[in-house]
Structure 1
Amino acid sequence: MQTTEDSLPDDLKTLLALWRMQAGTRRFPSRESFDGRTLMPWAGRLHLIEMLEDGDFYFHRFSPISAARLGLDMTGQRLSATVLDERATMTTSGYRRCLSLARPVCDQIAATFGDGRHHTPYDRLMLPLGSNDRPNFLLVGLWFHPADIPPDNHKARI
């Protein structure tokens, strides 16, 4: 579900403010505008993703918190290497939307899939990065809401 910047958790609002500062007068900042030290406050909850020429997505960095929750680290892998299910479709549509708009996109991923499976709900802030007029990288900040997991679901996952 798409949300507004106002509804983002403060932590992601701060990341968005940093992105805007790095962009300056450009539509979006370059990937090189960010380094590990600058992004340290969000280190556990960031993906750095490149959109490849063939339309697939490549994880240069996969959020360690996501990796722990999934039991799978996608760093250095293509998104197409995952099991293509409802989550991958939700994921790629958000990524493609952000890159085509070339502006920040935020959404909230609900706790239940259509088939009744549960996962940890989270807010997602997708920030385009690139050079010239075409973004080809995404910096994705995540904010998990484990308190919203149904109490009967002890194996919730994202």
Structure 2
Amino acid sequence: MLYDEGSTAARTSSSDTICARIRNTSDLIRPELKSLYSLWQEKAGKRRAPARSDFDVSELVPWLPHILLSDYLDNGTDARFRVVGTWIVEQYGKDHSGKTASEIDFAGRSLEILSEYNIVANAMMPHRVCGAFFKHTGARDYRTAERLLLPLSKDGAVCDKFLTAIYFIDD
């Protein structure tokens, strides 16, 4: 992934994926992601990011099928996917709950996904990723997906988890 630290966006060299900082809800397309981003902002308050414990599962019900909850491991060299929503499992074709990125090929995109996580963790700011959706077989789904990557932090300063939601833009 190419990323200019002074920029608000990055483009991968291998695909049409763009990773961009979110500064307000107008930066997002899907209304579901706008409302999740607003909830994240509310929970963060004056901190750079909220903690996972700030969210009650009942508050996340509208997004649960579309959510990934991931642990950020070993300074970004890996991530463990704690929760993978049912919609994601249905669309992707496999349930990788409990597995790490290093255990999963993600159709050859594992390093790209970890790179996106590292951008978000280092900036400690929400980012939006738009691009083609790939199934576990590597087959490209010709619908475009919008992903919202939200950093979570126990201490409000260092990212230790991600709350991610994925929706097709054109469904």
TM bucket (normalised to shorter chain) is 0.7 to 0.9
2:166 aligned residue: 142
SS of residue matched to 2:140 = coil
1:110 aligned residue: 132
SS of residue matched to 2:162 = strand
User: After alignment, is 91-100 or 12-21 more displaced?
Assistant: 91-100
Structure 1 stretches lacking a partner, 5+ long: 148-158
TM-score, normalised by the number of residues in structure 1: 0.82
**Partner deviation per Cα, 1:61-106 (whole Å, 9 max, x = no partner):** 0122121122210111111111264422331111111011111011
Determine if contact 2:72/2:160 at 8 Å carries over to the other structure: yes
Percent of aligned positions that are identical:
26
Please say if 1:71 is aligned against 2:93. yes
1:39 aligned residue: 60
Determine if contact 2:19/2:116 at 8 Å carries over to the other structure: no
Q: Distance in 2 between matches of 1:126 and 1:118?
A: 21
Shift in CA distance, 68/117, structure 1 to aligned 2, threshold 3 Å: closer
1:93 pairs with one of 115, 124, 143? 115
Please say if 1:6 is aligned against 2:26. yes
Shift in CA distance, 146/97, structure 1 to aligned 2, threshold 3 Å: same
Determine if contact 2:72/2:161 at 8 Å carries over to the other structure: yes
Structure 2 stretches lacking a partner, 5+ long: 1-17
TM-score, normalised by the number of residues in structure 2: 0.76
1:19 aligned residue: 40
What is the aligned residue count? 144
Please say if 1:29 is aligned against 2:50. yes
SS of residue matched to 2:82 = strand
Please say if 1:53 is aligned against 2:70. no
Shift in CA distance, 84/18, structure 1 to aligned 2, threshold 3 Å: closer
Q: Distance in 2 between matches of 1:87 and 1:145?
A: 20
